[in-house]
Amino acid sequence: MTASRTVELEGHIIDSGMMQQAFGIVMDMGGNFDVEEFEVGTHKEAESYCRMAVFADSDSDLQEILHELHQIGANLTDPVDAHLEAAPADRVVPTGFYSTTNHPTQVRYRGEWLDVENIEMDCAIVIESGDGEHEAQGASDGSSGDDESPRGDPRAYTKVLNAIREGDLVVTDEAGIRVDPPERPRDSSGPFGFMQGGVSSERPSESLIRQVADAMKRTKEEGGKILVVTGPALIHAGAGDELARLVREGYIDMLSAGNGFAVHDIERGLYGTSLGMDMETLEHPRKGHKHHIYTISEVIRAGGIAEAVDDGLIEEGVMYECVRNDVPYVLAGSIRDDGPLPDTITDSVEAQNAIREQAHEADMVLMLSTLLHSVAVGNCLSSTTRVVCVDINPATVTQLLDRGSSQAIGMVTDIGTFIPTLAGTILGEADEESETVEDAEEVDADDD
Amino acid sequence: MTASRTVELEGHIIDSGMMQQAFGIVMDMGGNFDVEEFEVGTHKEAESYCRMAVFADSDSDLQEILHELHQIGANLTDPVDAHLEAAPADRVVPTGFYSTTNHPTQVRYRGEWLDVENIEMDCAIVIESGDGEHEAQGASDGSSGDDESPRGDPRAYTKVLNAIREGDLVVTDEAGIRVDPPERPRDSSGPFGFMQGGVSSERPSESLIRQVADAMKRTKEEGGKILVVTGPALIHAGAGDELARLVREGYIDMLSAGNGFAVHDIERGLYGTSLGMDMETLEHPRKGHKHHIYTISEVIRAGGIAEAVDDGLIEEGVMYECVRNDVPYVLAGSIRDDGPLPDTITDSVEAQNAIREQAHEADMVLMLSTLLHSVAVGNCLSSTTRVVCVDINPATVTQLLDRGSSQAIGMVTDIGTFIPTLAGTILGEADEESETVEDAEEVDADDD
Amino acid sequence: MTASRTVELEGHIIDSGMMQQAFGIVMDMGGNFDVEEFEVGTHKEAESYCRMAVFADSDSDLQEILHELHQIGANLTDPVDAHLEAAPADRVVPTGFYSTTNHPTQVRYRGEWLDVENIEMDCAIVIESGDGEHEAQGASDGSSGDDESPRGDPRAYTKVLNAIREGDLVVTDEAGIRVDPPERPRDSSGPFGFMQGGVSSERPSESLIRQVADAMKRTKEEGGKILVVTGPALIHAGAGDELARLVREGYIDMLSAGNGFAVHDIERGLYGTSLGMDMETLEHPRKGHKHHIYTISEVIRAGGIAEAVDDGLIEEGVMYECVRNDVPYVLAGSIRDDGPLPDTITDSVEAQNAIREQAHEADMVLMLSTLLHSVAVGNCLSSTTRVVCVDINPATVTQLLDRGSSQAIGMVTDIGTFIPTLAGTILGEADEESETVEDAEEVDADDD
Amino acid sequence: MTASRTVELEGHIIDSGMMQQAFGIVMDMGGNFDVEEFEVGTHKEAESYCRMAVFADSDSDLQEILHELHQIGANLTDPVDAHLEAAPADRVVPTGFYSTTNHPTQVRYRGEWLDVENIEMDCAIVIESGDGEHEAQGASDGSSGDDESPRGDPRAYTKVLNAIREGDLVVTDEAGIRVDPPERPRDSSGPFGFMQGGVSSERPSESLIRQVADAMKRTKEEGGKILVVTGPALIHAGAGDELARLVREGYIDMLSAGNGFAVHDIERGLYGTSLGMDMETLEHPRKGHKHHIYTISEVIRAGGIAEAVDDGLIEEGVMYECVRNDVPYVLAGSIRDDGPLPDTITDSVEAQNAIREQAHEADMVLMLSTLLHSVAVGNCLSSTTRVVCVDINPATVTQLLDRGSSQAIGMVTDIGTFIPTLAGTILGEADEESETVEDAEEVDADDD
C-alpha cells in the first residue's frame, strides 16, 4: 500500500460509534490502518482521541476512503485546500461534486477554514471568493446563500441542484473538508438522545410529552425559534383550538403547512365542521361537504387570509392567531388541493425555497401528522436542530427519524390528544376546558 | 314455486336496512316474494311494517331462505315449535344445528316463546324441558345455563360447542326461532350509532372521549356494570395510574386481562419500571430486565396478588386497587407468559368460561389496546352491550368493530393519552397532575 | 306542510339502499312523504320503482330536501330548468352554487337535459349557451370543457373553483339537475362490487390479483385505457422491471407519478441502486447516496427524459418503456423533490390540470403505493371508472376507497410481490425469472 | 476506587460495538478502567483484543459492573466458580439469581466450564452435580434439562421460573459465567446481518424472498430443521395450498400454530371457504359462517385431525400434509378459540413446554403473520437460530426482530403473495398455477 495520509478523531468517539465506523470504513474499502495514538476518556464527560495512519493501494482509493472518513468526522492532520470546479451549466454539477451531509461542515479555501452556511443534506457547496468573481445568484432561485456578503470576505454555502448556475465554483472530491457530526452522548435514554428499541406506541406518553414541553420552554428561554409543520389531520382530530392557543401564547414562531390545513382550519371557524363533520356533535350536517369549497371561495373573494381576518370573516383558529400574532406561515401547494387559497404557493420549487428559509431559521421543529411537509422541511434541516415527530402511523415516524437528526424525539400517538396534553402541560388547562363531565351535565340539564 | 310461508318485519326496517336485506336474501337464494302489506313510518320515531309471502321451489329451499330471514329479524306469521335433536356425543352437535347470532333471540317450545339466555354468537341453543329429563351440565364445563332453574319451568340457553354433552336437546333447522336484531337508528352519526366512513384516526379525539365519558356515567347511573379489557401496552404507555384512579373511584366493575398486564402493573409499583424502562425518566436502568421475573417470583412467594397486597408488598397500581376495592379480575394465561402468576388461569377453556361470565354481566365494555383479550370477550357479548374499542392500530379497531355490536365506538388513538384524558373528563384533573411545567421546573430546581 | 313536490326513484333502489336513503333524508330534514306508487322488482335483474310526494314546511326547506334527494338519484317528476347565475369574479362562485357529485349528471337547460361533461366531485357546473355569449376559458386554466363545441349547441361541463371566470354561467340551487348514482348490484361480493367487511390484508391475495388481471384484460379488449398512478415505493420494492414489462406489452396507456418515481426508476437503470441500496444484493454501496443527485444532474444535462433515452443514457426501466412505447406520462412536482427533472411540472395547478386530463381519459386506474398522487387522480374521476387501490397500509386503502367509486378493488398487499404476480398472471412468467433457486445456485457455484 | 478485576474482550469487538458498550457500561455505572492491551484487527477477518482493568468503589459495585460486562461478552481473566444457591420453594428463585440472555453461555462449576444447555432468555441456570444430589425434575414440568444424564457428569441448563423446584441449585450473582454474544459481522447489509435503516416495506421484495429461499435450502442441505410458526391469516390470504406444497416437498419439519389456524385450514378443505368467504370466487355463501363450527364438530366426532385424515374426512391442506408426511405440529390453545379441536393443547404452560421443545430443535424459524405464536416461539430461541419474520404490519415485525436474534430477516409484506413466491422460488411454479389469464379465460369460456 503506497498511498497514505494521517487522520484524527476527537470527542466521544467511542460512545458515538465514530471510532468503530472509522475502522470499519477503512477495512471495508480495502485499506489498512495503524493506530498511532489512542487515548480513551475514562469518565462521562471526558473526550477521547485517536490518530491513525490510513493506507490504500492507490491515491484514488485513498481519496475515496478519506471521503467516507470525512463524512463521519475523521479529519486529515495535514489538510489541503478544497478542490473547486466551475459548474458546466445551470442546474448541472461538475463530475465528482461533493454532496453534503446535514452535519456542521467546514471547507478549506485559500488556507482558511470557512464554515459552510445553511448546511443541509444532498447539496453542493459553492464558494464565493469575495473578490467579486463569483457571486451568489440570489435567494429567489433557491440559493441558500442569500445574505449580502461584503466584498472581500470569502464565503461557502450550500446550493441545491436547482439553484446551481453555470460558472458557480463547486467543491469537488474529498480534500479540504471537515465534518463535525453530532456525538450521541452515552446518557442516551432520554428523549433527545438515541431512541432505544425502535419507534413504538408502547412508551409512557405523558412523560414523553413533558419532555417535549420542557424542550419547547428551554428553546424559548434560549431565544430560539419553534417551527410547527402540520397537516389537516390535526384539525380533523380536534386539536385546532389548542394549537391556536399555543400560537397565541407565543410558543410557535413559524408555521409550515399546506393549502388543506388552512382551509380546514378556516372552515372549522366559519362552519364548525371539518371535512363536513361537526367537531362537537360528530354529526355530518347535510351540505357539510360544500363548506370546504365555500370557505375557499370566500377567502378568494376577500383577497387572502390576512384580508379575511381584517374583514372579520375569520375570527378564530390557527390561521387567525398566526395573522393576529405576526407568526409567518408558508402554505405550500399540492396536486390534491382544492382552490387553492390565494396565500398558497403553487410552484413547488418556490415553495421549497420558502420552506428552506423557515427550516434554516428554526431551532426546534414540531412535525405533526404530515409526512409530505415533514419530509420537505426535514430535507433542509441541519443535524443539530431539535426535532419532534408525532404521527399515529409508526412507519411515518420511523421514516422521519431516519433523516439523521441527532436531536429527535419520535412519538406514535394521537395528535388529537397530544396537542391538548402538550398545551395543558405548558400553559395549564384552558379555562373553558376545566369543567368535568359532572359540570357539563348540569349545563346539559339546563338545556333540556 | 310450490312452497310458501308468510313472514313479517317490524320496526325501523327501512332505516336499518332490514327490508333491503330481506328482499335481497329471497332473490339471492332463488326465491320470490309478494309484498302483501307495506306501511312506511313517515316520521323519525315511527316504525314501519311489511308482511310478505315468500315462495321457493321446494320445502328445503324455503327452509334455507327462512333461516336467513330469521337471522335478520324477519319472523314467520304462523310459527311452529323449534325442532330439537339430542346431541349424539359430548362436544358434537347434531347435523343442522341452529348456530346463534349475537342478537336477542327467542325459541318456541311447546307453543311458548322462551328467551334464549346468555345469547352469544356461534353457539348452539339447548332446551331444558324443566321436567327433569335434560339437565344442564353445570357451569364448570362452560355451560352458559348456570343458574338454577326450578323444576317445571322450561329454559333455553346457549352452549358453546365444548360444553355440549351427549343427550342435550339441541335446536336444529330454522323453525320456531325469533331473532330481534338491534335497529340502527337513523340518527346515526353519534358515536354509539353506526360509524360513518370507516375507522380513522382523523376524528375529533376529545369530543369522542367526552362521549365515552358520558356513556360511562350513564351506565353507572343506570346501575350497570363496566368491564375493562386491557393489555400490557396500557402500562407501557404510562396510563396505569389513571386507570387505577378510575378503579378506585368506582368507574370500573370488572377487569379482564392477561398475566402480562398484571405483572407489568405490579413491576411498575415495585420498581418504577415497565419492561425495564423507568416510566418517569424514560431511562433503562441496568438490571431492569430482571424486574419482570423478580416480580413474578415475589408474588409466587406471597401466594398470589391479594396476599401480596395484604402483605404490603404491592402498594399501588391497577391490581392493587382491584384488590382493595373488590373489583373482580380474570387473568387469562397465554403461551407468551413468563411465570405465570398464581392468579393466572392457564387452561384456555377454563379461562374462556371465566371471561364468558364477565361478558354476560357487563353492560358496557372498554377494550383497551389488546386484540387477543378483546376478541375473547367480544365473542361472548350480546349485540346490545355498549362497546368502546381503543387501539393505535386501525386494523385492530376495524377487526373488533366488525363483531357486529350495534352500540360500538371505535377510536384510533394513543392509550397513553386516552386514559388520562378520559379520567380527567370524568373525575377532573388529579391533584398531583395539575402542576404545569413551570411548577415542575421549580421543583426540579430544588433538586439540583 | 304547505310545500310539496313529487319525486321518483327507479332502478335497483332497494338493493342499492337508495330508497332507504331517500326516506331517511326526508325524515331527517323535517319533511314528510307519501308513497304513491311502489313496485318491487322481485327477481335479480328486475328494477323497482317508487314515486312519492315530499312535503315540507316552506319552499326553502323543500328545496333543501330536494337537493339531497337529487344527490342520491331521486328526481322530480315535473322538472324545471336549472337556475343559472353569473360568477361574480374570477375564482369566486355565486352563493348557492351547485356542488357536483362524481356521478353521471344531467342539467336541464332551455327544456333540454344536457349531460354534464367531465363530471368530477366538488366542482361547479358551467353552462355554455352555444350562442357565443359565454365561452369556456380554455383548457390551460383548468377548465374541463376543453373540447371545441360548434356554435349553436349548448353544453354543460364541470369547472374547478380555480377555473371559474367572471361571468361564467354557474348552476345554482337544486332545480333542474338529475344525478344517476351507480347502483350497487346485489351480487356484490365480487371484487368490483361493494367490499364487504372493510379493508383487510386477510383476503386471498392471488384470487384478488386474478380478478385485477381479468379486469385489465377486459378493459383492453373493450378498447379502454388503463392509467397507472404510482410512487417511488414501487421501485424500492423491486417491482420496476415487471411494471416496465406491463408497459412494454401494452397494458399501460398512461402514467401519473412524481419526480421521485422517475428519478428512482432511472437511478436503478443507471446504477442498479434505489435510495442507494443495491436492488439485487441488498447492500449499500458507499457513495450510493450520491446516485440520486447524479441521476437528476445527468438528465438535466441531456435536456429531459426523452432526450436521455434517445442519447442512450437511459436504457431500461419504466420511464424508458414509456418513451419507447409512446405512453404519455405526467410527472407532478412536490415540495420534497430533489432537482427536479426537466419533465416535472412544478406548478401544482398546472400539474393538476394535466392529471385531470389523464383521469378523464382513463377507463381503469391502478393506484399503486402512493397516497398523494392517488388522491389527486381520484379527485378527478367519475364514479363509473374502475379503480384498483394497492397499498401496504390499510389506512391508505380505506381513505382511497372512501372516494365513492362504485367500481373499486382495494388490496392491502406488498407492491413488490403484487406487480410481479400481476404481470405473471397476465403475461406468463418472464423468461429471466423462470429459474428456481436450484438453477440459481448452479450459477452461483460457477462464480465461486 | 479500591475494588478491581481484569476483563478481556476478544473477536470483532469494534465492529460489533462490544468495546464501545464495555467502556460505556463501566463509565455509566460509576467505575473506571485502564486499557492494558489493545490490538485492532486491521483487516476484515482479523479479530481484535482488549484487556482492561476495571475499578469500582466497592466490591458490590464492581460485581454489578462485571455482571453487565458479562452480558455483552467481556469475561474475567481470572475466573472463579459460579455461586450456587438452592431454590427456597417451588417456582421461587433465590435473591440475586442470574437471569440468562439468549446467547451461548458457559458456567464454571468445580473449576470446569459447562455449556449451558437449551439457552434461552430470562431463565435461571440450574446445575446438576451429577453425583445424584440434585436431579432435574423432568420435562413435563417445563424443565429444559430433559435429557438423561449419566451419573457423574455435571450439567448446567436453563429453567423457566415455572419449572424451578425447591432445592434446585440455581446460579446467583455474576461470577463464573461466560457469555458469547454473536458478533455482528461488518459486512452487514445482507439479509441475515444487521438490517440497516429499520423495518420497512420499501425493500426489494423478490430479492429478499430469494435470500429466504437460499437460507431454507442451505438449512436443509446442512441437515437442519425448519420450523414454521403461523396463524389463520395465512389461510385467509390464500396461501394454504402453497404452504401445504412446501410441507409435502419436505421444506417444513415442524409446525407451530393455534387452534384457529388448523380449523381454517381444514374448513377450506371441507367447504372451500375461510371465515365463510369462498377462496376462489371471493363470495360469501350463505351459511358460510356455520362452516367453522361444523368443521370442529366433525373433527371431534372423528377423534382428532390424524383420525380425520385416516377416515378420509380431510383430504388436503396444511394439516393434511403434516399428518401424511409425519411433520409434527403443536396447536396451542387460546381464549379466542372455538371448540377447540381435540389436538389443541389448552393449558398454556403445557403448550409452552411443547413449543419450547420445537424451538430448541429448530435451526431456522419462519414466523408468518402471527404475533402471539411468534413471540411464544421467539422467547425460547437462542440468538444463533436463523429467524425470518413476515407480517404486513411493520410494528409486528419490529417487535419480533427486537428479540435480539443476530440472524434475522424481517419483511413487511403480504403473506398471500409471499408464500406462493417463496414456494415458486424454491420448487418452481406449481403445475396447476402455471396457466396465465389467457389460458384461464379459455377454460372459463368452456364453462359458459
User: Span B144-148, mean pLDDT?
Assistant: 48
What is the grid cell recorded at C226? Answer: 388503463
Q: Which fold has domain A205-436?
A: Rossmann fold (3.40.50)
Lowest mean pLDDT among A171-185, A413-427, B22-36, C80-94: A171-185
For residue range B324-359, what is the model confidence (pLDDT) as tens digits? 999 999 999 999 999 999 999 999 999 999 999 999
Q: Are B240 and B213 in contact (CB under 8 A)?
A: no
Mean pLDDT confidence for C268-280: 78
Provide mean pLDDT across the span A31-57: 79
Whole-angstrom Cα distance, residue B119 to residue D20?
61
Residue D219 neighbours by CB distance under 10 Å: 18
**3-class SS of residue B48:** strand
Kindly state the helix (H) or strand (E) to which residue B56 belongs, with its residue range. Answer: strand B48-56
Q: Do C24 and B197 touch (CB under 8 A)?
A: no
Q: Say what the pLDDT of residue D439 is.
A: 41
Closest to D259 measured CA to CA, from D325, D326, D349, D336: D336
Q: Enumerate residues 6+ apart whose C-beta is below 8 A from C189.
A: C196, D277, D281, D282, D283, D284
Averaging pLDDT over each range in C30-34, D6-10, D357-361, which range is the top one?
A: D357-361
For residues D400 and D395, give the distance between their C-alpha atoms in angstroms, rounded to a whole number.
9
State how far the Cα of D122 lies from the Cα of D102, in Å rounded to an integer: 8
Contact C409, C203 (CB under 8 A): no
Q: Encode pLDDT of B89-143 as tens digits.
A: 999 999 889 889 888 999 999 999 999 999 998 999 999 988 765 544 443 344 4
Chain D environment of A198 (Cβ under 8 Å): 198-199, 398, 402
Distance in angstroms (rounded) separating the CA atoms of residues B93 and B124: 8
pLDDT at C154: 95
Which residue in the block uniquely carries the three cell numbers 432520554?
A: A190
Instruction: List b or e across B40-59, with b for residues whose CB sees 16 or more CB atoms inside 10 angstroms.
Output: bbbeeeeebebbbebbbeee
The confidence score (pLDDT) of residue C113 equals 93
Over range A89-116, report the average pLDDT. 92
Looking at the predicted structure, is the pLDDT value of residue B440 above 50?
A: no
| Residue C446 clears pLDDT 70, i.e. is over it | no
| Residues D16 and D186: beta-carbon distance below 8 Å | no
- Sorted by sequence, the CB contacts under 8 Å of residue C447 that are 6+ apart come out as none
In this predicted structure, the answer to whether residue A363 has a pLDDT above a threshold of 50 is yes
Mean pLDDT of the region B139-168: 74
Helix (H, G, I), strand (E, B) or coil at B174: coil
CA distance linking residue B230 with residue B374, whole number of Å: 8
Cα angle A421, A422, A426 (rounded to 5 degrees) comes to 115
pLDDT of residue C257: 98
By the 8 A CB rule, do B351 and D340 touch? no
**Rounded-to-10 torsion of CA C190, C193, C197, C201:** 60
pLDDT at site D285: 62
For chain A, report the end-to-end CA distance as a whole number of angstroms: 90
**Interface test with chain D among A23, A200, A413, by most D beta carbons within 10 Å:** A23
| Mean pLDDT confidence for C284-293 | 72
Q: Give the mutation candidate from A186, A195, A196, A201 for the B interface (greatest B CB count, under 10 A).
A: A201
pLDDT at D150: 54
pLDDT at A43 over 80: no
The better pLDDT of the pair B162, D142 is held by B162
The CATH number of domain A1-77 is 3.30.70.2690: yes
What local confidence, expressed as pLDDT, does residue B76 receive?
Answer: 84
Indicate the pLDDT class of residue C406, thresholds 50, 70 and 90: low
Going through D219-288 in order, the beta strands assigned E by DSSP cover 226-230, 254-258, 273-274, 277-278
pLDDT (0 to 100) of residue D419: 97
In angstroms, the CA D140 to CA D354 distance is 9
Determine whether the interchain pair B28/C394 forms a contact, defined as Cβ–Cβ distance below 8 Å.
Answer: no
Provide the pLDDT for residue C403: 67
pLDDT at residue A444 tops 90: no
pLDDT digits (tens, 9 = 90+) for C37-70: 877 776 656 678 888 889 999 988 888 888 888 8
Q: Which of B59-68, B297-306, D14-23, D205-214 has the lowest average pLDDT?
A: D14-23
| pLDDT over 70, % of chain D | 82
How near does any CA of chain D get to the CA of B362, in Å? 18
Band of residue D199 on the pLDDT scale cut at 50, 70, 90: low
Interface test with A, best of B195, B413, B422 (most A CBs within 10 A): B413
SS3 state of residue C164: coil
Per-residue b/e over D184-203, b at no fewer than 16 CB within 10 Å?
Answer: ebbebbebbbebeebbbbbb
Question: What is the pLDDT averaged over residues B223-238?
Answer: 96
CATH number of this structure's domain C1-78: 3.30.70.2690
Determine whether the interchain pair C426/D413 forms a contact, defined as Cβ–Cβ distance below 8 Å.
no
CATH, domain range D205-447: 3.40.50.10690
Beta-strand runs (E) in D110-219: 112-117, 124-128, 155-159, 169-172, 177-179
- Bond preceding residue A232 cis, omega within 30 of 0: no
In this predicted model, what pLDDT tens digit does every residue of D41-89 receive, in sequence order?
A: 766 566 788 888 899 999 888 888 888 888 788 888 878 899 999 999 9
Backbone phi and psi for residue C447, each to the nearest 5 degrees, phi listed first: -75, -25
- As a whole number, mean pLDDT of residues D155-178 equals 92
Residue A302 pLDDT > 80, yes or no? yes
| B316, B243 Cβ separation under 8 angstroms | no
Checking if the pLDDT of D327 tops 80, the result is yes
Distance from CA of A357 to the nearest CA of C (A): 13
pLDDT score of B45: 62
Judge whether residue C376 has pLDDT over 90: yes
pLDDT value of residue B251? 98
Determine if the peptide bond prior to D328 is cis (ω within 30°).
no
Under CATH, to which class is C79-183 assigned? Answer: mainly beta
**Owner of C-alpha cell 463509565:** D27
Q: Please compute the mean of the pLDDT values over residues D220-227 and round it to a whole number.
A: 97
What is the dihedral angle through the alpha carbons of D380, D384, D389, D393, rounded to the nearest 10 degrees? Answer: 80
Looking up cell 403547512, which residue turns up?
A257
Residue A385 has pLDDT above 70, yes or no: yes
> Which residues of chain C have a CB within 8 Å of the CB of A261?
none
Contact in structure between A101 and A50 (CB atoms under 8 Å):
no
Per-residue model confidence (pLDDT) at position B71: 78
pLDDT in tens, B27-54: 778 888 888 887 777 665 667 888 889 9
Subunits adjacent to chain B (3 or more Cβ pairs under 8 Å): A, C, D
Label residue B223 exposed, middle or buried (CB < 10 Å: 0-12, 13-18, 19+): exposed
pLDDT for the residue numbered B387: 93
pLDDT at res. A287: 63
Please name the residue that has the C-alpha cell 366493575: B253
**What does the block give as the cell for B48?**
314501519
Shortest distance, CA B63 to any CA of chain C (angstroms): 19
Q: What is the pLDDT of residue D421?
A: 96
Per-residue confidence (pLDDT) for residue B145, from 0 to 100: 47
What are the pLDDT digits (tens) for C86-125? Answer: 999 999 999 889 889 888 999 999 999 999 999 998 999 9
Cell representation of residue A400: 422521519
Please write down the HEC assignment for all residues of chain A. CCEEEEEEEEECCCCCCHHHHHHHHHHHCCCEEEEEEEECCCCCCCCEEEEEEEEECCHHHHHHHHHHHHHHCCEECCCCCCEEEECCECCECCCCECCCCCCCEEEEECCEEEEEECCCCCCEEEEECCCCCCCCCCHHHCECCCCCCCCCCCEEEEECHHHCCCCCEEEECCCCEEECCCCCCCCCCCCCCCCCCCCCCCCCHHHHHHHHHHHHHHHHHCCCCEEEEECCHHHHCCCHHHHHHHHHCCCCCEEEEEHHHHHHHHHHHHHCEECCEECCCCCCCCCHHHHHHHHHHHHHHHCCHHHHHHCCCCCCCHHHHHHHCCCCEEEECCCCCCCCCCCCECEHHHHHHHHHHHHHHCCEEEEECCHHHHHHHHCCCCCCCEEEEEECCHHHHHHHHCCCCCCEEEEECCHHHHHHHHHHHHHCCCHHHCCCHHHHHHHHHHHC
Q: In angstroms, how far is CA B368 from the centroid of its own chain?
A: 12
Residue B429 has pLDDT above 70, yes or no: yes
Q: Are strands B364-368 and B408-412 parallel, antiparallel or unpaired?
A: unpaired
Q: Residues A5-33: what's their mean pLDDT?
A: 81
The whole-angstrom separation of Cα A50 and Cα A36 is 8
At C243, the pLDDT band (50, 70, 90 cuts) reads very high
Residue ranges per structural domain of chain A: 1-77, 79-185, 205-436
Q: Which chains lie within 8 Å of chain D at 3 or more CB pairs, if any?
A: A, B, C
Section C246-270 average pLDDT: 96
CATH of domain B79-184: 2.40.420.10
Contact C73, C50 (CB under 8 A): no
Among the residues of C79-199, which ranges form H helices? none
Q: Which residue of C36, C40, C65 is the best one to mutate when testing the B interface, meaning the one whose CB has the most B CBs within 10 A?
A: C40
Long-range contacts at C432-435 (CB < 8 A, ≥ 24 apart): C434/D429
DSSP assigned state of D98: P
Confidence class for position A27, pLDDT limits 50, 70, 90: confident
Whether B338 sits inside 8 A of D287 (CB atoms) is no
Smallest Cβ distance to D68: which of B88, B286, B292?
B286
CATH number of D79-185: 2.40.420.10
Closest A-chain CA to B234: A202
At residue A189, does pLDDT exceed 80? no
Measured between CA atoms, how close is B44 to chain A, in angstroms? 16
Q: Could you tell me if D372 and B336 are in contact, meaning their C-beta atoms sit under 8 angstroms apart?
A: yes
pLDDT at A150: 54
In whole angstroms, give the CA distance from residue D118 to residue D158. 6
- Measured in angstroms, the CA of C46 and the nearest CA of chain D are apart by 22
Closest CA to B104 of B413, B407, B443, B416: B407
Q: Which residues contact A61 (CB under 8 A, 6 or more apart)?
A: A3, A29, A30, A31
Number of neighbours of residue D272 by Cβ within 10 angstroms: 15
Average pLDDT over residues B196-215: 81
Cα D113 to Cα D104, D108, D144, D178, D179, distances in angstroms: 12, 4, 19, 9, 11
How close C108 comes to chain D (CA, Å)? 41
Q: Has residue A188 got a pLDDT over 70?
A: no
Instruction: Look over chain A and give the mean of its residue pLDDT values, rounded to a whole number.
Output: 84
Predicted confidence at residue C437, as pLDDT, reads: 41
Local structure of residue B190 (DSSP, 8 states): S
**DSSP bridge pairs for D228:** D255, D366
Tell me the mean pLDDT in the region D115-143.
73
From the list D202, D238, D283, which residue is nearest C237 (CB)? D202
**DSSP secondary structure letters along C291-305:** HHHHHHHHHHHHTSH
pLDDT of residue D133: 54
Residue C431 reports pLDDT greater than 70: no
Report the pLDDT averaged over residues A270-289. 71
- A346-350, B396-400, C300-304, D287-291: the lowest-pLDDT one: D287-291
The residues pairing with C180 across neighbouring beta strands, listed in sequence order, are none
